[in-house]
């Protein structure tokens, strides 16, 4: 990381010389993002190389901005993004980190998540207090994504400093006696306004709906914008969070064949005297330097380093029986560390060749990640029963070796957006990537792969407010290690190449309301444990679907965000009749999600409602067992007023209004219940 920081500082020092026509008196203007009209976004960083208008991005992108996050009291990714019906939870038990799948494909915690476009390790919950928005690219982004899974990419965008001093305070409280305090403040640091800072500080007592699954969280984050010279800007971000909470375990099928019945999400199955919280500590440092070059070109250098440390304790139920007995294991993995680091340089600009305009972007990046897993315990403690809890002895010994990894990825990429007049654009790009991975510990191997991932798109805008597109992309991902218990457990097979075909249309019906539709097909090789108990790659997994989404204001008083997704997932060409033609586990054929808010004019009031629907889903890949579909509703209200010159916003929301008992996630052999009825209250105050 020292070399990355040195490169950033050297370029920052040399930057003024690149623009020798800069005046001695620097501009006092601090550029900030344009305020989005309600919940509708107009630009995003994912789906293109750099910030770009959504209408000019030939991909399906959802943006969850600050207004939407606040309206739903979102403090975790899974609270925020489920308004998009193409997104679902994927092994995200309460008290653990939150994982999602997009279009039925699980994301990779080491490669599919980013902050400000830089890869992070997502096996720790990411704080939202210092985030301005969450962007989701649905599907493959071959040029920008590099090594990632075909479902898509999640990008957290941090809040930037403002041009004037401000102070914001938020207090939150919920029915389980969780209390959250959040302070957001900043100001220019010099009279000319060339330097500005922003701090976010938060503290939260974590009280789960599962009785006894409690914890605590602390966050400190800083952002600095520094205009070094005319056309030269440096952005710095630092973020530190500690979080610990008892993990709420999931169920399994009873005797491998029956969905549990009569169970309650409020019951903590692993309430043992030796149960300890899942503890994570994350520290992230980022730097971004933008330099305006002659003829309208822009050079960008970004660096990122993250350090994640975890102590993973859990009394783990594994193996459920028809009488609701379960085997309980003592799992301990102490001092896990992750250290992803990225450096990236990119150039963007425009050239004209006759009647054609070329918007060019090209660059290089290097990503390294050290994934260290110490010796672990996974020892049988005894037999428990869901309806008749008993205290069992701890079993911390013996320890078994785990697998640790070192990964390095070097990529060179380029993209040309060719404009044929105002209506047509052809986008062609590609990324050449070398991936190297070394495993040590319980499994030892070393491999290297070179791969080229192209993407092509054609975009047509019959009107400035309407765009249509076709795209093709190829992606590459690392498959999962062979699971414990398999003959070749911990072994890593070859990388998986995926392909995507997509057609879509986007329409700004009015300036504040956008409609989108996309038809897609994604193919990737299938991995599974075969009849010989061996982890193999065989056949393919094909997901075909159509999405409809709406975001923005239907009228000045009525806001909507949500849509419908129809998705067909199928396993093909395995030669196994128990799989071929079968739907993938945890993938529903139909999902819908809608957030609606009505604000009567002149009252300061706003009322909102939320609806989430999922059709029945198979709990196993052979489709022998299914779980029922569900409808879940939420209600909320907020009141904005001013007291003694101070703007105040009072908020109240109720999730799962009808206290529905439902399975939110049945992937990977585990079944997790959704949260019961929960209410949240908040107060926001701001001073300028």
Domain CATH for 303: 2.40.170.20
pLDDT tens-digit readout, 160-206: 999 999 999 999 999 888 899 999 999 999 989 899 999 999 999 99
Q: Is 78 a residue whose pLDDT tops 70?
A: yes
What was the pLDDT predicted at 587? 96
Q: Which of 51, 31, 49 is nearest to 41 (CA)?
A: 51
Report the alpha-carbon angle 570-575-580, nearest 5.
20
Strands 100-102 and 105-106: antiparallel
Most confident of 31-35, 75-79, 513-517: 513-517
Query: Quick one: CA dihedral 292, 297, 299, 300, positive or negative?
Result: positive
Query: Residue 12: what pLDDT?
Result: 39
Give me the residue label for tokens 């250098």: 301
Pure H helices in 398-494:
none
Instruction: Report the relative pairing of strands 60-65 and 678-687 from DSSP bridges.
Output: unpaired
**Side-chain half-sphere of 148: how many Cα atoms within 13 Å?**
32
What average pLDDT does the segment 87-94 reach?
90
- How far apart are alpha carbons 113 and 111 in whole angstroms? 6
Q: How many CB atoms lie within 10 A of CB 380?
A: 13
pLDDT in tens, 313-346: 989 999 999 999 999 999 999 999 999 999 999 9
Q: Which two tokens stand for residue 113?
A: 């998540």
In a domain, 26, yes or no: no
Contact 106, 151 (CB under 8 A): yes
What the block records as the tokens of 397 is 């010994």
Helix and strand numbers (H, E) in the chain are: 4, 37
Q: How many CB atoms lie within 10 A of CB 240?
A: 16
pLDDT at 495: 83
Mean pLDDT along residues 77-104 = 91
| Whether pLDDT at 392 is above 50 | yes
pLDDT at 560 over 70: yes
Residue 293 lies in a domain: yes
* Mean pLDDT over each residue of the chain, to the nearest integer: 90
Residue 27 lies in a domain: no
**Distance in angstroms (rounded) separating the CA atoms of residues 90 and 102:** 9
23 pLDDT higher than 60: no
The number of folded domains in the chain is 1
For residue 142, the model assigns a pLDDT of 63
Residue 669 confidence class, pLDDT cut points 50, 70, 90? confident
Query: Is the separation of the CB atoms in 371 and 406 below 8 Å?
Result: yes
Cα-based distances in Å from 482 to 333, 406, 492:
19, 18, 6
CB-based contacts of 208, cutoff 8 Å, min separation 6: 94, 95, 176, 214, 245, 246, 248
Residue 503 lies in a domain: yes
Residue 29 lies in a domain: no
User: Quick one: pLDDT at residue 141?
Assistant: 74
- Asked if residues 495 and 477 have their Cβ atoms less than 8 Å apart, the reply is yes
Query: How large is the average pLDDT for residues 540-564?
Result: 96
Distance of CA 133 to the CA centre of its chain: 11
DSSP code at position 122: -
The radius of gyration of the chain from alpha carbons, rounded to an integer in Å, stands at 25
11: pLDDT strictly greater than 90: no
Of the candidates 472, 525, 534, 521, the one whose C-alpha atom is nearest the C-alpha of residue 495 is: 525
414 assigned to some structural domain:
yes
* 3-class secondary-structure state, position 78: helix
Encoding tokens for residue 258? 């029956």
Q: In 3D, which of 174, 260, 171, 169 has the Cα closest to residue 214?
A: 174
User: Across-strand partners of 349?
Assistant: 360
634 within 8 A of 678, measured Cβ to Cβ? no
Cis, peptide link before residue 240, omega less than 30° from 0: no
Strands 377-385 and 100-102: unpaired
- Distance in angstroms (rounded) separating the CA atoms of residues 621 and 104: 13
**Do 681 and 601 meet the contact criterion of CB atoms below 8 Å apart?**
no
Domain that holds residue 285: 2-17+34-687
Residue 210 pLDDT > 90: yes
What's the rounded mean pLDDT across residues 550-578? 95
What pLDDT does residue 688 have? 85
Of residues 141 and 541, more confidently modeled: 541
Instruction: Answer whether residue 560 is part of any domain.
Output: yes
Q: What per-residue confidence (pLDDT) applies to 462? A: 96
Give the pLDDT mean for 420-441.
92
Give the number of residues written for the chain: 688
pLDDT of residue 32: 36
Query: Across 24-38, 210-224, 441-455, which has the greatest mean pLDDT?
Result: 210-224
Domain assignment of residue 24, yes or no: no
Tokens of 665: 């996630």
pLDDT band at 118 (very low <50, low <70, confident <90, very high): very high
> What is the torsional sign of CA 679, 132, 307, 88?
positive
pLDDT of residue 374: 93
Assign 3-class secondary structure to 524-577.
EEEEEECCCCCEEEEEEEEEEEEEEEEEEECCCCEEEEEEEEEEEEEEECCCCC
What digits encode the pLDDT tens for the residues 259-300?
999 999 999 999 999 999 999 999 999 999 999 999 999 999
């Amino acid at each position: 990381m020292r070399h990355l920081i040195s490169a950033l500082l050297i370029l920052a020092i040399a930057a003024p010389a690149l623009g020798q026509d800069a005046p001695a008196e620097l501009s006092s203007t601090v550029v900030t993002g344009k305020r989005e009209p309600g919940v509708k976004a107009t630009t995003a960083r994912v789906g293109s190389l750099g910030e770009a208008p959504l209408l000019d991005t030939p991909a399906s992108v959802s943006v969850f901005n600050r207004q939407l996050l606040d309206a739903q009291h979102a403090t975790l990714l899974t609270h925020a993004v489920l308004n998009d019906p193409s997104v679902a939870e994927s092994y995200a038990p309460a008290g653990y980190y939150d994982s999602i799948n997009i279009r039925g494909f699980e994301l990779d915690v080491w490669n599919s998540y980013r902050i400000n476009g830089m890869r992070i390790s997502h096996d720790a919950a990411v704080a939202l207090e210092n985030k301005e928005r969450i962007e989701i690219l649905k599907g493959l982004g071959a040029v920008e994504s590099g090594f990632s899974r075909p479902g898509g990419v999640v990008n957290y965008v941090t809040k930037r400093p403002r041009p004037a001093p401000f102070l914001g305070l938020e207090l939150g409280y919920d029915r389980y006696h969780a209390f959250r305090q959040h302070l957001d403040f900043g100001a220019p640091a010099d009279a000319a306004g060339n330097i500005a800072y922003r701090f976010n500080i938060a503290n939260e007592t974590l009280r789960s709906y599962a009785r006894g699954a409690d914890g605590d969280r602390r966050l400190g984050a800083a952002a600095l914008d520094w205009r070094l010279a005319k056309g030269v800007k440096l952005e710095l971000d630092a973020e530190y969070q500690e979080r610990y909470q008892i993990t709420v375990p999931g169920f399994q099928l009873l005797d491998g064949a029956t969905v549990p019945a009569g169970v309650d999400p409020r019951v903590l199955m692993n309430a043992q005297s030796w149960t300890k919280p899942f503890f994570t500590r994350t520290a992230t440092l980022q730097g971004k330097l933008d330099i305006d070059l002659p003829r309208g070109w822009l050079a960008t250098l970004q660096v990122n380093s993250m350090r994640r440390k975890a102590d993973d304790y859990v009394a783990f139920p594994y193996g459920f029986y028809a009488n609701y007995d379960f085997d309980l294991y003592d799992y301990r993995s102490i001092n896990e560390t992750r250290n992803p680091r990225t450096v990236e340089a990119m150039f963007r600009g425009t050239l004209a060749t006759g009647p054609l305009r070329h918007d060019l972007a090209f660059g290089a990046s290097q990503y390294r990640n050290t994934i260290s897993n110490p010796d672990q315990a996974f020892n049988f403690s005894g037999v428990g029963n869901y309806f008749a809890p008993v205290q069992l002895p701890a079993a911390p010994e013996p320890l078994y070796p785990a697998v640790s990894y070192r990964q390095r990825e070097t990529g060179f990429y380029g993209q040309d957006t060719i404009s044929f007049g105002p209506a047509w654009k052809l986008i062609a790009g590609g990324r050449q990537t070398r991936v190297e991975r070394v495993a040590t510990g319980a499994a030892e191997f070393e491999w290297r792969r070179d791969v080229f991932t192209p993407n092509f798109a054609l975009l047509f805008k019959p009107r400035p407010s309407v765009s249509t597109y076709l795209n093709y992309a190829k992606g590459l991902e690392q498959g999962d290690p062979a699971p414990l218990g398999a003959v070749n457990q911990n072994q890593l097979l070859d990388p998986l190449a995926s392909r995507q075909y997509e057609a879509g249309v986007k329409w700004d019906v009015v300036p504040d309301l956008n409609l989108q539709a996309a038809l897609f097909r994604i193919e990737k090789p299938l991995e599974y444990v075969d009849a010989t108990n061996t982890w193999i790659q065989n056949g393919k997994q094909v997901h075909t679907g159509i999405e409809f989404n709406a975001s923005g204001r239907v009228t000045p008083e009525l806001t909507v965000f949500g849509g419908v997704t129809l998705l067909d997932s199928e396993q093909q060409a395995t030669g196994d009749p128990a799989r071929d033609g079968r739907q993938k586990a945890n993938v529903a054929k139909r999902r819908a999600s809608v957030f609606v808010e009505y604000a009567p004019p002149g009252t300061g009031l706003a009322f909102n409602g939320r609806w989430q629907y999922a059709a029945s889903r198979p709990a196993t890949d052979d489709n022998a067992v299914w779980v029922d579909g569900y409808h879940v509703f939420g209600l909320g209200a907020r009141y904005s007023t001013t007291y003694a010159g101070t703007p105040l916003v009072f908020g109240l929301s109720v999730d799962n209004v009808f206290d529905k008992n439902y399975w939110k996630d049945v992937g990977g052999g585990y079944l997790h219940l959704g949260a019961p009825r929960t209410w949240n209250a908040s107060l926001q105050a701001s001073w300028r």
